[in-house]
Amino acid sequence: MIPNPILYNDNTIMIGVIACCLIVLAMVMIPKAIKHRKQMKQNESEKPVLDEEQEVQMIVIPNDENKKLSYKEKFIYRNEIKKRDCVYISHDTHSKIMKLTKALDNITIGGYVDTVLREHLKEYKDEINNIYSESRKDLL
């Protein structure tokens, strides 16, 4: 008797081996996934729920920070940069800033970054100067 070429060719055997591997993998992983789901549901049910009697208190202490400008007033405005230098930032940060500036549509990425950095340097001026002066050693 001649063996059937469809049942015994290399591709059919390879597909059979892959199917067996997937079945074994599913038999191992499905029970673990079910167990994990049960644990997650149990953890959710154990979370403390605030009763109506329990009250969360929030204390607001007035200070100068409350009088400061809003974020939009402070950072979101057109900033024309006359003389520029190149600085590298991560792709992720660039993408986030690009989405923000596109949504606002009147500011550039460079202008926004320049404004935020300038404000940061102004806000932390004393600390930055201390770090800078500590790092400078006398040459002689």
Q: Where are the domains of the chain?
A: 1-46, 65-135
Q: Specify which of 1-5, 15-19, 102-106 reaches the highest per-range mean pLDDT.
A: 15-19
Q: At what angle do helices 125-135 and 109-123 cross, to 10 degrees?
A: 80
Percent helix, strand, coil in the chain, to 5, is: 60, 0, 40
Give tens-digit pLDDT for 29-82: 999 989 888 888 877 666 555 444 444 444 445 555 545 677 777 777 677 777
Over residues 13-33, mean pLDDT: 91
Kindly report whether the global pTM for this prediction surpasses the value 0.85: no
